[in-house]
Amino acid sequence: MNSFSGKKSITGFLTILCILLLSMTALAAETTDKDQAVNQAQSESSGTDHQTIQTGGDQAASSNTDTPKEEIGPGIRKKETEPEEPAKPVYEKGGSLGLFTATAYCPESSGKQCVTYSGTIPQPQHTISADIALLPLGTKVMIDDIVYTVEDIGSGVKGNKVDIFFASRREALDFGRQTKELFAVIER
């Protein structure tokens, strides 16, 4: 019974010791960060470069360094992570799908924002309507080196016809009716 009580008190003592050490380490880190911030503010306001001595070692550091931003805790460096941009797909021209009659359409003249058959908002140089029996929704095709996605249908768009979405009525009228060769798209 006596040895159990002794083990219990040793465990309690070690627990308290660990808590104190962690608290002191955190306090020292906060103090160092505050000192560096004060010195940095002083050097920026006076235009001089003060030197501070770190309490944890013999290393001297300039007050105009970004040490507080680089460390998570004492001796633990923050990993520099650059924001990753989503990888944009790379498309290549595939085989020919044949010649298609291409017409143009544009947003409604009422100013309302239209929605495609697939539920998306049409975008210039992206959205086309097609006969979904021939080119299903979501199919990507290339016309004049621009990749379009089939997102819409049209009552007059049957067979080898496509309707290309343009941002304005003027652009749509300028495009008119043309014969275009459509190509499959290979995503890399």
Q: Contact 96/182 with Cβ under 8 angstroms?
A: yes
- Please state whether 170 falls in left (phi above 0), alpha (psi between -120 and 50) or beta: alpha
Distance CA 11, CA 22 (A): 17
Residues comprising the chain, all counted: 188
Question: Mind listing the pLDDT tens digit for each residue in 119-155?
Answer: 999 999 999 999 999 999 999 999 999 999 999 998 8
Name the least confident of 44-58, 109-123, 140-154.
Answer: 44-58
**Reported confidence tier of residue 71, pLDDT bands at 50, 70, 90:** low
Q: Is 152 exposed, middle or buried (0-12, 13-18, 19+ CB in 10 A)?
A: buried
Q: Which domains does the chain have, with CATH numbers?
A: 2-77 (no CATH), 91-187 (2.40.40.10)
Distance CA 49, CA 60 (A): 13
Residue 12 sits at φ, ψ, to 5 deg, of -65, -45
The encoded tokens of residue 173 equal 């009228």
Q: Is 6 exposed, middle or buried (0-12, 13-18, 19+ CB in 10 A)?
A: exposed
Please give the model's pTM, rounded to 2 decimal places: 0.54
